[in-house]
A and B are shown apart, each in its own frame.
Chain A
C-alpha cells in the first residue's frame, strides 16, 4: 500500500469543492423558502445527497485498496452484469420524469445507465488495449469497440433518456481517436454533430461548417476520398435536418427546437424553461442575490432546479463569482485528469482516464449549455453538483478509478 500522501489531492480537492457547491445549491433549491411548493420526497433530497457524498468519500478512499489489475480482469464480467441490469431496467424499471432508467433496489433506486458508463468505459478500454496489435485503424476492431458502446446506447434510448445516450455516443470518437483512429477520420466522425447543431439555427451555417471541416480533414489527412465523403455527409446532414424540421418532426418536437433558437416565440410554452433559466442566471449579476435569496429559485420558476438546472441556482444566488468558480473548478479538474492520462505509460490507464474526462466534460457542456441556452434543453445532470445518488456514486467511482490507476502507477506498469 502506498502512502496516502501519494494520492492526487488536488483532484480530490476539486471533487470535494464541486460536491460542496452542489450541496449548498441543493439545500437552497429544496430547503429554502421554495420548499413550501415542493413535495416531501424532494425536500429530502439534501439530506439524501449528504449521505451519498459521505458514502462516496468512504468509497473513493476504500477503492484505493484495489489494484488496477483486479478491475481490468473483471471488466468484461462487470460489463455483462450491468448489461443484464440494463435489460431488467427496461422491463421492470421505475419511471421518473419520463425516463424509465431506475431499478428499485429496496432502499435505493439504482440508475443502471450510470453504472453502465463505467462498465462500458472499462470493457471497451480493456478490449482496445488488451493486445498490442489492436488498433482502431483496423476496421474490424473498431467495429467491435463501436458495438460495445452502441448496444448500451440503444438500451439507454429505449429508457427514453436521450441526454445519457449522447454521453455514450461521445465515447465513440473519443475512444477510437485515442486508440489510433486517424485525426481526419476522428474529425469526420464528430463533424455531423457540429453541422447539425449549426443547421438548426440556419442551414447556411451548416453549409459553411461542412466546407470548413472538409478542408480541415484534407489538410490533416490529405486523403481526397475522405474529404469527399466528409463533404457528402455534411450536405446530407444539412438537407436531412431541413427535411426533418419541415416534414418529419412532430409539432411538439419542433416547438422544442424553436424554443431553443427563439425562446421569445412561445415564452409561456416550450420557451418557458429557457427564458426562466436565462433570467435566473442573468439576474444573479456579479455577486448574486445571496444564499436562499434567489427569486427565480425560491419562487420555483426553475424546473428541476436540484438536478438539470442546478447551475441556475448557483448563478442566481452566487452570481458570476459563484458560477465562474464552478466553471473554473471543472476546467481545473478536466486539465488535471488529462495531465494524469498523459503521465500514464499504460494505454488502458490512459484510455480510461481520457474517457472518464470526456464523460465528465460532455455532461458539463450539455448541462451548462442547456442552462445558459447555448444548447437546446437536454436533461442531464451536472457531475458532482446535481442531486442524484446513482450519478454521484458512479461519477465518484470513475474518479476513484482514475485516482487508483495513478496511485498504483508504479505497480501498474509491471502488468504491461
Chain B
C-alpha cells in the first residue's frame, strides 16, 4: 500500500514536471515570437495586409489638325487570377459566368499557372459589362479570382489611320528591362505615334496603398492617404492630319496596295498618310485576337508594313524635275537647251524613249517625259566626273538621307554616289551603263512616297528644305498647348529660275502629258509628274507626285501604287481627287471616285517597263 501510494506520488510529480516544463516551453516560444521577434513579425504582418497598387494614368488623346478627336480611351473589364488561391473545381462556374466554354477557361487557367502560381495575372480581358458584374457578384464563391477595370484605345473617327497611330501591346521583358518606369504587363506604344510619343502620351503612374485580405481582395484604400500619389494624365497629341482627307484617301486606297502622302509643302505638315493594305488597329486595341495578330504578321500582303514611309522603290520619272534642277545648276543644260529624241538614246546600246520623236527642251521633256533628255543630262554629269556632286545636290531634297518624320521605320532610300557604287559593284566594276538609268529615276535610285513628297515640296515651295511631320502640338494636362516648330531652310544653291522651269514642265505634264486624262481639276491649276518603277515580278508600280494650286501650292500629294500598271490611269486619279477634296472641301467628280474604287489594273506592261516614259 505505501509502495503504491509512493508510486502515485512519484507519478503525479513526474506528470506535473512534464506539464510545467512543456507549458514553459510553449510560453517561452510565445515570448520569443511576440516579444523578441516582434519587429520581424510586425513588419511581415504589415506587408501582408498593405499592398502597393499602381494606378494607371489615362493615356493622352490624339486629335487631328482641327481638334477632331481621333483616339481616346474606353474602359474595359478584365478578370484576374491568382492561381494559388484558385480551385480548379470552380472552372465550370467561372466558364458559366463568362459564357465561355469550360475548355477555354481551362486553357487560360493553365496559362496563368505557367506564368506564376503566386502572382496575379490577367485571366481574360475586355469582357462585356454583364459578365463582369456577374463575376463581381459571385466573387465570394471564386477565391483567387479578381476583377479590374482598365482601358483600351478607342478610335471614334471615321478614318482608320493604323499606320499613323500604331498599336499598343503589353510590355515584354526587353521593354521593362530597358526602362524602369515600365512594368510587366503595361501597355506601351509599339509603332506609329503611340511609339514615338510614348513618353508624352503615357502620363505618370499613381500609387495607392490598399488594404487586402488573404485572398488578395482589395478592401479599399489604406487609411494613410497622404502616401498615395495621384496619377497624372498623359499629354494629348494634336496631329497635322486632316481626318476627313485621311478618311477619303483611305477609301480610295481600299483594295489597292501602295502608299499616299499628302502634305503642306510650305511647312512639312502631313495632311494624310495612307499605307494599303492596312491592318485594323481597332482589332488590336482590346483583347488580343491571336488569329488576327498572326494573320497580319504572316500575310503575304504585309499589312503591318508602312508603304508610305518604309517602302523603297525607284521613283521613275517623278525624279526628272529634280534632274532638271541639278542639270541647270551644274550648267549642263539651260532652260532653252533642246535635245533631239529619235526614239532611242544610243550610248553603247539603245535606250528606248516612248516620247514622240522630236526636239525637247527641259519644260517639254518633263511634260512629255522624254527619257533621251535626261539620259543625256545624266551622261554629261557622269562623264564630267560630277556623279558625287549630283548625289550630294539631290540629297538636299531629302532623297537618300534619313528622314526625320515622327514615325518609326522611315526608309532613307538610296541615292548612289561613287562610294556606294564601289561598295555595291566593287571598285572600277561599274560604268556609265549603271549610272545612266539614274537620270530617269531607275536603277539603284530609290525612295519612299514620303521622300518623293518631300522632294516635290522643296521644288514647289521655293527651294526650302522642310521636315515632314505629324505633330502639330502637344496639349499639356493644364490645357496649355506647345506648338511644334516647323523648320524650313533655304537650299542655298537652288535658284528660282530652275524651279520655275521644272514647275512649268510639271504643269505641262497635267495639261498635255500623261496627266491629261485624269489630273486636271476644273477651276484649279494642278501640276504633277507621273513615274513608273520597274517591277520584275508583275505589273509595274505607278508613281504620281502632284501639287496645287500651281502658283503658291498649298498641298503636295504623292501616290505610289504597287502592281497597278500605268500611273496615268491608276495613281493620277487618286492624287487628283485628294487635291480636289483638300482644295474644294468636297469632291464634285463622283464619276472619278467610282472609277478609282472600281479600278482594276488591266494590261501587262511589264515588258515595256524598262523604257516607260510616263
Chain A residues in the interface with B (C-beta under 8 A)? 34, 37, 39, 177-178, 180, 268-269, 275-276, 278-286, 295-296, 299-302, 315, 319-320, 323-324, 327-328, 330-331, 334-335, 338-339, 341-342, 350, 354, 357-358, 361, 365, 368-369, 372, 374
Give, as a whole number of angstroms, the nearest-CB distance from A140 to chain B.
21
Residue of B nearest to A269 (CB): B84
Chain B 406-439, CB-CB to A under 8 Å as 1, else 0, gives 0000000000000000000000000000000000
Q: Name 28 A/B residue pairs within 8 A (Cβ), A-sorted.
A: A34-B213, A37-B213, A276-B48, A281-B30, A282-B34, A282-B41, A282-B44, A283-B46, A284-B34, A286-B34, A286-B38, A295-B45, A295-B46, A295-B48, A296-B45, A300-B215, A315-B30, A324-B27, A327-B23, A327-B27, A331-B23, A338-B16, A358-B15, A368-B26, A368-B30, A369-B26, A372-B26, A372-B33
Give, as a whole number of angstroms, the nearest-CB distance from A342 to chain B.
4
Within 8 A of A (CB), among B206-221: 211-215, 217, 219
Q: Is the CB of A320 within 8 A of B30?
A: yes
Q: Is the CB of A315 within 8 A of B44?
A: no
B29 interface residue (CB < 8 Å to A): yes
Give, as a whole number of angstroms, the nearest-CB distance from B216 to chain A.
10
Q: Is the CB of B19 within 8 A of A279?
A: no
Number of A-B residue pairs, CB cutoff 8 Å, is: 128
Provide the bound-state CA to CA distance between A301 and B118, in Å.
Answer: 15
Residue of A nearest to B48 (CB): A301
Give, as a whole number of angstroms, the nearest-CB distance from A285 to chain B.
5
Segment from B5-13, B183-191, B307-315 that makes contact with A = B5-13
Q: Is the CB of A281 within 8 A of B26?
A: no
Give, as a whole number of angstroms, the nearest-CB distance from A287 to chain B.
10
B37 interface residue (CB < 8 Å to A): yes
Chain A residues within an 8 Å CB radius of B67: none
B35 interface residue (CB < 8 Å to A): yes
Please tell me which one of the listed residues A268, A279, A299, A320 contacts residue B219 in the complex, with CB atoms under 8 A apart: A299
Q: Is the CB of B41 within 8 A of A283?
A: yes
Known A280-B45, A299-B48, A299-B212: A335·B30 in contact at CB below 8 Å: no
Q: Is the CB of A354 within 8 A of B15?
A: yes
Provide the bound-state CA to CA distance between A323 and B38, in Å.
Answer: 14
Chain B residues within an 8 Å CB radius of A320: 30-31, 34-35
Chain A residues within an 8 Å CB radius of B292: none
Chain B residues within an 8 Å CB radius of A331: 19-20, 23
Provide the bound-state CA to CA distance between A335 and B49, in Å.
Answer: 40
Q: Is the CB of A282 within 8 A of B37?
A: yes
Give, as a whole number of angstroms, the nearest-CB distance from A408 to chain B.
20
Please tell me which one of the listed residues B26, B37, B48, B118 contacts residue A374 in the complex, with CB atoms under 8 A apart: B26
Chain B residues within an 8 Å CB radius of A283: 38, 41-42, 44-46
Q: Is the CB of A279 within 8 A of B48?
A: yes
Q: Is the CB of A365 within 8 A of B22?
A: yes
Provide the bound-state CA to CA distance between A300 and B219, in Å.
Answer: 12
Chain A residues within an 8 Å CB radius of B140: 37, 39
Chain A residues within an 8 Å CB radius of B8: 342, 350
* Among B19, B48, B215: residue with most chain A CB under 10 A: B19
Give, as a whole number of angstroms, the nearest-CB distance from B10 to chain A.
8
Give, as a whole number of angstroms, the nearest-CB distance from A228 to chain B.
24
Chain B residues within an 8 Å CB radius of A302: 214
B392 interface residue (CB < 8 Å to A): no
Q: Is the CB of B117 within 8 A of A281?
A: no
B25 interface residue (CB < 8 Å to A): yes
Residue of A nearest to B119 (CB): A268
New A-B pairs, 10, CB < 8 Å, besides A276-B48, A331-B20, A342-B9: A37-B140, A177-B11, A280-B45, A295-B48, A301-B48, A323-B34, A338-B12, A350-B8, A354-B11, A369-B26
Residue of A nearest to B25 (CB): A374
Residue of B nearest to A331 (CB): B23
Q: Is the CB of B19 within 8 A of A327?
A: no
Chain A residues within an 8 Å CB radius of B44: 275, 279, 282-283
B350 interface residue (CB < 8 Å to A): no
Q: Is the CB of A282 within 8 A of B33?
A: yes
Chain B residues in the interface with A (C-beta under 8 A)? 7-9, 11-12, 15-16, 19-20, 22-23, 25-27, 29-31, 33-35, 37-38, 40-42, 44-46, 48-49, 84, 117-118, 140, 211-215, 217, 219
Chain B residues within an 8 Å CB radius of A280: 45
Residue of B nearest to A354 (CB): B15
Give, as a whole number of angstroms, the nearest-CB distance from B236 to chain A.
41
Chain A residues within an 8 Å CB radius of B26: 327, 365, 368-369, 372, 374
Chain B residues within an 8 Å CB radius of A369: 26
Provide the bound-state CA to CA distance between A372 and B25, in Å.
Answer: 11
Give, as a whole number of angstroms, the nearest-CB distance from A349 to chain B.
12
Chain A residues within an 8 Å CB radius of B41: 278-279, 281-283
Residue of A nearest to B31 (CB): A320
Query: Which 6 A/B pairs are nearest by Cβ-Cβ distance?
Result: A282-B41, A283-B45, A299-B213, A301-B214, A295-B49, A282-B33
Chain A residues within an 8 Å CB radius of B23: 327-328, 330-331, 334
Known A283-B42, A283-B44, A342-B8: A276·B214 in contact at CB below 8 Å: yes
Give, as a whole number of angstroms, the nearest-CB distance from B152 to chain A.
31
Provide the bound-state CA to CA distance between A83 and B55, in Å.
Answer: 61
Chain A residues within an 8 Å CB radius of B15: 338, 354, 357-358
Residue of B nearest to A330 (CB): B23
Known A300-B215, A331-B20, A342-B8: A281·B33 in contact at CB below 8 Å: yes
Q: Is the CB of B22 within 8 A of A281?
A: no
Provide the bound-state CA to CA distance between A342 and B213, in Å.
Answer: 50
Provide the bound-state CA to CA distance between A269 and B118, in Å.
Answer: 9
Q: Is the CB of B30 within 8 A of A327?
A: yes
Chain B residues within an 8 Å CB radius of A278: 33, 41
Chain B residues within an 8 Å CB radius of A39: 140
Residue of B nearest to A316 (CB): B45
Chain B residues within an 8 Å CB radius of A342: 8-9, 12
Known A268-B84, A282-B40, A282-B44: A338·B19 in contact at CB below 8 Å: yes
Q: Is the CB of A279 within 8 A of B45?
A: yes
Q: Is the CB of A285 within 8 A of B30?
A: no
Residue of B nearest to A294 (CB): B45
Chain A residues within an 8 Å CB radius of B45: 279-280, 282-283, 295-296
Q: Is the CB of A285 within 8 A of B215?
A: no
Known A37-B213, A296-B48, A319-B34: A335·B19 in contact at CB below 8 Å: yes
Give, as a whole number of angstroms, the nearest-CB distance from B30 to chain A.
5
Q: Is the CB of A37 within 8 A of B215?
A: yes
Chain B residues within an 8 Å CB radius of A37: 140, 213, 215, 217
Q: Is the CB of B34 within 8 A of A301?
A: no
Give, as a whole number of angstroms, the nearest-CB distance from B449 to chain A.
56
Provide the bound-state CA to CA distance between A69 and B198, in Å.
Answer: 89
Chain B residues within an 8 Å CB radius of A276: 48, 214
Provide the bound-state CA to CA distance between A302 and B49, in Å.
Answer: 12
Q: Is the CB of B12 within 8 A of A300?
A: no
Give, as a whole number of angstroms, the nearest-CB distance from B420 to chain A.
61
Residue of A nearest to B117 (CB): A268
Chain B residues within an 8 Å CB radius of A335: 16, 19-20
Q: Is the CB of B34 within 8 A of A341?
A: no
Chain A residues within an 8 Å CB radius of B19: 331, 334-335, 338, 361
Please tell me which one of the listed residues B38, B48, B213, B214 contacts residue A285 in the complex, with CB atoms under 8 A apart: B38
Known A284-B34, A327-B27, A342-B9: A299·B211 in contact at CB below 8 Å: yes
Residue of B nearest to A288 (CB): B34
Q: Is the CB of B12 within 8 A of A341?
A: yes
Provide the bound-state CA to CA distance between A402 and B30, in Å.
Answer: 30
Chain B residues within an 8 Å CB radius of A279: 41, 44-45, 48
